[in-house]
Amino acid sequence: MKHRKLMGLLLMLLPPLGTQAATVDLVPGEMQACQLNDGVSTREVDKVMTKIADWLEADGHEYDLWMATPHFRPPEGYDFDVLFLGFWTSHAEQMSGLKKFYTTQAGRDIGQSLADVMTCGGNRHFNSVQVRTEAGAEKRRQGFGYMFDCTLASGKGPTDVNEVFQKWNAYLDESDIDHGVSALFPSSGSMESSAGSFKFLWGGDFTNVGETLGFLTEPESQSTWASITSETYACETFDRGYFFQRISQ
C-alpha cells in the first residue's frame, strides 16, 4: 500500500494526448521507485546494474536507463532509496523490450536479480518531450537534476508546454545558460489522481547545474519565468534533487 500511494504521487494521469501531441516528438518511458532490501550493499546493487546493462546490450535494446538517488526531498511521501527512469527510442521498441523482459527466461532472471537487492513499486509509463538539450549530454554518465510536479492550465497539453519552453530556451540562450530539460507526461495511472499534470525534469553537468541555480535566483530570471509560463502551467515550489547515474544507453 505504501508503494501504491508513493507511485500515485510520483506519476499522475494526463488525459488522452490526441492531436494535441501530434506536433511534438514524444519518447516513451517508465519510472519506478525502489527501496533497498535490508543488508544490501552498494556493491551488490552495482553488480545487478551491470547485469541489467549487459542484458540490454546483448539483446539489442535501445533503452536509455538512469538510476537517480535522492539528495533531498519532502519528509512525507517520497520514502524511496532510488528512482529509475528509462527512455525508449520508440513505442514499438518499448513494446518489444517489455515483452522480452516479462516473457523470456533471460528477462525474468534480470527481474529476479533486481528483486534480490531492492523492492520496487509497479512501473509507471510516461511520454516525454525533450524541450532543451545540454551540450555533450549523449556521452554523459552521471549528473545532477531536479524534478518538479506541474499542473497544466485548462485546455493545455504537450504542444503548449513545448511552445512555452522554446520561449524560455531563447531566454537561456541569450543568457549563456546550458542545461537539459524534459517534460514527462503520464500515460498510465489513476484518473482520479490529478488529471492535467506532468513532471518537469531539468539538470545535467554539475558545473552547468550550479550556474543555472545561481541564475534562477535572480529577480529578473524569476519574473521572466513567471511571465512565460503563467498562462500554461504552474509548478510546485519544492523540488527534489537527484544524483543521476546512467546504467545503459
Q: Which grid cell sits at 174?
A: 541569450
**Residue 78, domain CATH:** 3.30.70.100
Count H helices and E strands in the chain, helices first. Answer: 7, 10
From first CA to last CA, the distance across the chain in angstroms is 32
pLDDT digits (tens, 9 = 90+) for 37-56: 999 998 999 999 999 999 98
Q: What is the pTM of this model?
A: 0.75
The domain of 121 spans 2-246
Mean pLDDT comparison of 24-33, 186-195, 232-241, highest-scoring range: 24-33
Domain count, the chain: 1
Q: Report which of residues 12 and 130 the model is more confident about.
A: 130
Report pLDDT for 38. 93
Average pLDDT over residues 142-157: 83
Report pLDDT for 149. 83
pLDDT digits (tens, 9 = 90+) for 87-113: 888 888 888 888 888 899 999 999 999
- Where helices occur in the chain by DSSP H, the ranges are 2-10, 42-58, 91-103, 105-117, 158-174, 206-216, 219-229
